Structure 1
Amino acid sequence: MTDTTTRPPRVRRLVSLAKRALHAELRVYSSMGRAIVRRPAIEPGGTGIGYHRPVLTVLIIFIVLSAIEIPILDLIVHPWPAVRIGVLILGLWGLTWMLGLLCAMLQRPHAVGPTGIRIRNGLEVDVAIPWSAVASVEIAKRVDEPKSPRVAGGEYAERMQDETNILIELERPTPIRLPGLAPRGGAHEVTRVRLWADDPRSFLAASRPFLLEG
């Protein structure tokens, strides 16, 4: 087996980007499939809590504009068949990708279930925190500076428009893995987790029975 750590940094970045792109592409279609069969990614006995509300309107506007753009561009490049086909393929792919992103946000919510908490965001982020590592869950709204790092000082924050409203205190340093390479992605150890939930009270209510069991 090839040791990926021996690859030059530029090669490792390219390989990581290629893997992430393929993973995201596959997740687009699997999320659309979940939407069609109405089967969100929530374990049996779990509760899904959305995080899409702050960006839903903007995302729908982009989808509508992408759909309108396809016939307009088709009219513009109509005299050149080769260009027309290429533009049509790109337009349809872009529209499909946007729809897949919307489906991913709807069908892959944060999940609170018997095995723990799963923190999600879009096509890639899926961080599992077992109940054995959770000390407490509380509502705590906070607004961070734009472009703040996801992980800093042992704290992981999965924000929505720079905001979080749930704080999870952990019993001990707990390993998590984020998409991409270090320092922004890869493996980290954290003692606190913050995230945005559209309905923080429902998140807290769903967590409470499992915390009491522990």
Structure 2
Amino acid sequence: MGDRSFGYSAQVRPFLWVFLVLTPAEIVLVELLVPWFWLRAVLLAFGALSAALLAWQLWMLYKFKHEIDDEYLWLRYAREFEYRIPLAAIETATHGMTSRSTNRTRSVVDDTLVLEISNSTNVLVNLNEPQEIDLGRRGAHEVTKIEFWTDSPDEMVRALRK
């Protein structure tokens, strides 16, 4: 789909890997410490499910990156959301760290779409025309700016300025 892709999960990936690596150790400890078979079986099932979900999340963060193609900037977070912004609607793109702490991966604050990773953003895009953004149960909003996180903000800004 995209000509250039940009990751956004470098901050959270190490934590996911730690939990994924520790899950088998947890399963072994449960097998050694819990005397009841029925409880060991239930905890084993939860441990296996936990490992599968962590592996799935890691894969989704790797597969669904932000992308820029000939017509659009695609902003994503795994399979949770995907926003398509026309490149023609982008007026300026700048690199700069901000922290809003909205405690959500996506929100609209003062006509700005905020896509945070670990409560931070590092790219600001000003739009020359408002774009409608659907936040699901929180409704649709018109935005004139977008703040988001990418692992390589300088490269993203250079790609958006072309």
| Bin for the TM-score computed over the shorter chain | 0.7 to 0.9
The CA deviation string for residues 137-194 of structure 1, in whole angstroms up to 9 with x for no partner, is 221222224637721111011112221111111122211123x411xxx322111000
Percent identity of paired positions between Structure 1 and Structure 2 = 25
- After superposition, residues 71-110 of structure 1 pair within 5 angstroms as 71-77=28-34, 79-80=36-37, 82-110=38-66
Give the AA of the match of 1:47.
R
Check the 8 A contact 1:47/1:111 in 2, yes or no: yes
- Residue 48 of structure 1 deviates from its aligned partner by 0.9
Q: Greater strand share, 1 or 2?
A: 2
- Residue 125 of structure 1 deviates from its aligned partner by 2.2
CA distance in 1, matches of 2:126, 2:51: 39
Is residue 142 of structure 1 aligned with residue 95 of structure 2? no
Which runs of 5 or more structure 2 residues have no equivalent in the other structure? Answer: none
CA distance in 2, matches of 1:206, 1:99: 31
Find the residue that maps to 2:92 and give its secondary structure: strand
Q: How many residues matched?
A: 161
| CA RMSD between the two structures | 2.0
- Residue 132 of structure 1 deviates from its aligned partner by 2.9
The CA deviation string for residues 3-52 of structure 1, in whole angstroms up to 9 with x for no partner, is xxxxxxxxxxxxxxxxxxxxxxxxxxxxxxxxxxxxxxxx15x1111111
The CA deviation string for residues 45-67 of structure 1, in whole angstroms up to 9 with x for no partner, is x1111111122222211212222
Q: Residue in 2 aligned with 1:193?
A: 146
CA distance in 2, matches of 1:153, 1:118: 22
Is residue 127 of structure 1 aligned with residue 80 of structure 2? no
Q: Greater helix share, 1 or 2?
A: 1
